[in-house]
């Protein structure tokens, strides 16, 4: 009997509300780079539901194996073979992309890696492109829920470099790289979908 595929219950829970937003936000044919694909459940679901998008799954070299089998089995015509990408290894050598999607990565990466992720996105993002960053975030240095506070504690106890990021720090980081936050969407379970784009020069 083969091993079960890597699975995340959170992905099952959040995929529909995220899909509803992506459907609205990305209506035209485009290439979407996913950073930190994890189990590949989001890639499989979104690419299946949004066939006008070409999905480019990537993950850290240590973890990219997690999505490979699922995406091979799904065999979707609009999903590229997953690529190993450590966001800290710049410049990124990737096919061109129009938009970027990343879920639940900013609180797992060290802050320096978050900076590299934004740097790589800013370098490669199309002028009309969108960086969709999903997850739990703090607002003005405050937790937005008790469950987020507990989650942050749990992360920092595991590895001190992990932890919820502050929305205003991300905005300042983006601004330094010529990007701005143009939508901050409330999502279920105290999550947000943050949308960044290149600032018009
Ligand atoms: C909590 S998982 C999220 C996976 C998936 N996006 C989801 O929502 O379930 C965090 C992901 O960030 C990735 N990650 C952490 N550090 C990274 C780095 N430096 N470069 C690229 N990906 C990284 C991990 O490999 C992992 O797949």
| Global pTM value | 0.98
In a domain, 4, yes or no: no
Ligand 1 atom 11: the closest Cα is on which residue? 36
Residue to probe by mutation, ligand 1, list 59, 102, 105, most atoms within 8 Å of CB:
105
In a domain, 157, yes or no: yes
Strands 165-166 and 137-138: parallel
Distance 38 CA to ligand 1 centre (A): 6
Our count of domains for the chain comes to: 1
In a domain, 109, yes or no: yes
Cβ distance 135 to 103 under 8 Å?
Answer: yes
In a domain, 33, yes or no: yes
Task: Give how far Cα 196 sits from Cα of 13, 65, 113, 128, Å.
Answer: 24, 29, 17, 11
Cβ distance 42 to 103 under 8 Å?
Answer: yes
Checking if the pLDDT of 1 tops 70, the result is: no
Ligand 1 atom 10: the closest Cα is on which residue? 105
In tens, the pLDDT along 176-199 reads 999 999 999 999 999 999 999 999
Q: What pLDDT, on the 0 to 100 scale, is given for residue 112?
A: 98
In a domain, 1, yes or no: no
Strands 30-35 and 99-103: parallel
Distance 166 CA to ligand 1 centre (A): 18
In tens, the pLDDT along 10-45 reads 999 999 999 999 999 999 999 999 999 999 999 999
Q: What pLDDT, on the 0 to 100 scale, is given for residue 201?
A: 66
Domain CATH code at residue 79 = 3.40.50.150
In tens, the pLDDT along 61-119 reads 999 999 999 999 999 999 999 999 999 999 999 999 999 999 999 999 999 999 999 99
In a domain, 21, yes or no: yes
Q: Atom of ligand 1 at shortest distance to CA of 63?
A: 25
In a domain, 3, yes or no: no
Instruction: Confirm or reject: Cβ of 86 under 6 Å from ligand 1.
Output: yes
In a domain, 99, yes or no: yes
The parent domain of residue 176 ranges over 9-198
Q: What pLDDT, on the 0 to 100 scale, is given for residue 2?
A: 73
Instruction: Confirm or reject: Cβ of 64 under 6 Å from ligand 1.
Output: no
Q: Atom of ligand 1 at shortest distance to CA of 8?
A: 9
């Amino acid at each position: 009997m083969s091993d079960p595929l890597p699975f995340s219950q959170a992905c099952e829970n959040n995929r529909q509300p995220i899909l509803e937003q992506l459907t609205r936000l990305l209506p035209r044919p485009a290439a979407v780079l996913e950073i930190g694909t994890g189990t590949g459940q989001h890639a499989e679901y979104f690419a299946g539901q949004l066939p006008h998008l070409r999905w480019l799954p990537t993950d850290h070299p240590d973890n990219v194996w997690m999505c490979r089998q699922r995406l091979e089995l799904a065999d979707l015509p609009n999903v590229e073979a997953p690529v190993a990408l450590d966001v800290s290894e710049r410049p990124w050598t990737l096919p061109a992309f129009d938009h970027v999607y990343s879920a639940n990565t900013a609180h797992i990466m060290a802050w320096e890696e978050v900076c590299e992720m934004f740097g790589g996105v800013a370098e490669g993002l199309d002028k009309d492109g969108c960086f969709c960053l999903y997850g739990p975030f703090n607002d003005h240095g405050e937790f937005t829920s008790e469950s987020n506070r507990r989650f942050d504690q749990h992360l920092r106890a595991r590895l001190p470099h992990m932890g919820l990021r502050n929305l205003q720090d991300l905005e300042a980081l983006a601004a330094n790289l010529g990007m701005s936050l143009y939508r901050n969407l409330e999502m279920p379970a105290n999550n947000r979908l943050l949308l960044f784009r290149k600032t018009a020069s």
